[in-house]
Amino acid sequence: MNLSELTAPFEKALTEPGEQVRQWKAKQGGRAVGFLMTDVPEELIHAAGFFPYGIAGGNAEMEAADAHLQPWICSYARNCLALALGGKLDFLDGLIVPQNCDTTRMFSDLLNHIRPFPYMDIFRMPRQVGRSSAGSYLIGEMERLKYGLEQYAGKPIDHSDLRSSIALYNRNRELLRRIADIHAQNPNLISSRDLYTLINGSMIMPREEVGELLTAIREVLEGLTGSGNAGNQVRLLLSGTLLEPLEILDLIDQCGGTVIGDDFQNGFRYIESDVAIKDDLLDALAERQLNRIPSSAFDIEHRQRRYYLTEVAEDKNASGVIFLHLGFCEPENFDSYDNLQAMKRAGIPAIRIETQFGRSTLGQIRTRIQAFMEMVGGDDSGCR
């Protein structure tokens, strides 16, 4: 199969969200458990025998949610609620809501009240992940989550099943990182849009199938590496809570840019770092969680997000940073000024562009990206 045939299932999964879950359920008779953001240890969901489904996108009729949410609630939560109320998550049997921010804290209660799923749980991450007590706290929270999943599954999560799930997830993350690396070196081989289609598709497809497809994609790309023009696109670092909509990547590609990294929940934060395979697997899951790349939702004193982003921009030789700021994302609002100041002090061109689930105006975003690309020296003729 060629590259476009291999990437097609990921595109299809994103354009027909839930379809693969329905097919999987019809074939296996299993149940699906969704999760918000990407801080939930989904290896536990997989090891319990459920289909893990990461909700990072999907267009919904927001009006249904507007009746229940204050105007200042982020459009991600609004979109998730609208999906649930509009029946677009009916293929899910359960939902885990991580407690990332004030919005997610109230979200699980609200959903429980107006549209409960048969199985619902929350996942409480420590806010100050650098504290010495964070590890033991998080292991306790993993044990609680695991117990709840076992109760719903009606059977214990076997150590060897969890080990296999972790190995599968590690493999998929490793493959995605390798493909991201090939993209950064040879953006002409695989575009930014295609890379993030693979990452986002991998959150909602059967993980075994994801592994097989990614292995084939990596092989095709490795075979093409070194052939033809690697491309001279302007290297850009993106930053934000969630990347939405993915069409923004088309604008960046068209404007002569290429994405070489990010800290999105549905981007590099999803694929960065693996879980160590060791005797205590809950400890290993907690370890990965505490060492993930910084995010606005958590404080990491020894690894502050603004300095992390500056370092990545410098290490990866980025010409600029685009902050895609999800409107009304409260943790992001707190970080935004410091992030922009850090880039200014480091002499890295940066721009902040506001996005909204379901309500982003691509025309305005195009104009801002085009202006930024002119500033950092890109060939923006393709986006005029």
Q: In angstroms, what is the minimal distance from the CB of 190 to ligand SF4?
A: 28
Strands 94-98 and 234-239: unpaired
3-state SS, residue 237: strand
Which segment (24-32, 120-128, 248-256, 324-332) binds ligand SF4 by CB under 6 A? 324-332
**φ and ψ at residue 246, rounded to 5 degrees:** -65, -15
- Contacts of ligand SF4 in 248-277 (CB under 6 A): none
CB-based contacts of 375, cutoff 8 Å, min separation 6: 320, 349
Report the alpha-carbon distance of residue 85 to residue 99 in Å, rounded.
21
Q: In which region does residue 191 sit, left (phi positive, over 0), alpha (psi from -120 to 50) or beta (all else)?
A: beta
CB 54 to ligand SF4: min, Å:
13
Output 37 or 84, the one with its CB closest to ligand SF4.
Answer: 37
Least distance to ligand SF4, CB of residue 83, Å: 14
Q: Which of 101, 34, 39 is nearest to 74 (CA)?
A: 101
Nearer to ligand SF4, 261 or 331 (CB): 331
Site residues for ligand SF4, window 12-51 (CB under 6 A)?
A: 37
Question: Please, which residue, 10 or 76, has the CB nearer to ligand SF4?
Answer: 76
Task: State which of residues 79, 100, 165, 200 lies at the interface with ligand SF4 (CB under 6 A).
Answer: 100
Peptide bond just before 245 cis, omega within 30 deg: yes
Among positions 330-349, residues that touch ligand SF4 (CB under 6 A) are 330-332
Among 55, 62, 125, 326, which residue sits at the site for ligand SF4 (rule: CB under 6 A)? 326
The residue (of 218 and 325) whose beta carbon lies closer to ligand SF4 is: 325
Q: How far apart are CA 196 and CA 207, in angstroms?
A: 16
- In angstroms, the CA 339 to CA 341 distance is 5
* Binding-site ranges for ligand SF4 (CB under 6 A): 37, 74, 76-77, 100-101, 103-104, 241-242, 297, 326, 329-332
